Structure 1
């Protein structure tokens, strides 16, 4: 084994290159490990910041609740509902109702056409009732035929007024700004 100086030199350079390559790979792995630790630390920082924001919001909410409770106690006096305020069903709700006092308006009733009324009047429609006199249309002697000229004129005036109102409401006018 005859080693010449050129061969020793080239073996030396290859070994130096291999050593440098191994050190570079080791350094790269170490840098990636540090980057991973930095990334994990940043994630923890973000999580802690979110937790701090949540806790600040919670603290502000609870302090607002305390302020609202103090304001309620001082100004309004509202209290939370208690078990005795709840009712058990429709019967208990109905028992809470009061009889109508004197002069109270009659309750609103739904119209109900009965068969006996339909057979006697010859129509299945309900009888028309005057809101002023309370008389039915059948009891009024030919009210539609004898309508006076005055009521026709009033109706025409009302129709014109309604048309004019409809036209005014259908338009949008932009008001000029007061200076």
Structure 2
């Protein structure tokens, strides 16, 4: 090879590298939706695209579920925590289908526990081809002194979130 080739060849490779870098810079940035999807994947598993609300009375609740995406094979169930006992049917829907933007309402009867107790609503089904679940809890009543002074050890997670470490129940 002659001396001219040795001088041109490095310039050619530099130009090729510069072109490759500039085409990568011109690529479209990720959309807001893909960033949100990535963020959700980092923070936890995907939940069912539903909104669950409950209007609580002394011994009953009106549970409303809004479906933000079409759903099939939907199961809506309720149960109680901390002494609350559901006295109506615990399964509100089983195998139901709902189009997007549909709202379903259910009446639930229960007996409250002492102090603060909770009504738990679980919605599961297939949303956009994937099995998803959402669980929502609704508190009713005022906590007793025993509930306020829980025997749980309180700690903080890596990101500053509150964590309660509960003792094992030896049943």
Length-normalised TM-score, structure 1? 0.23
Greater helix proportion: 1
Which has the higher Rg, Structure 1 or Structure 2?
Answer: 1
Higher relative contact order (CA 8 A, sep 6+): 2
Determine which structure has the larger strand proportion and give its number.
Answer: 2
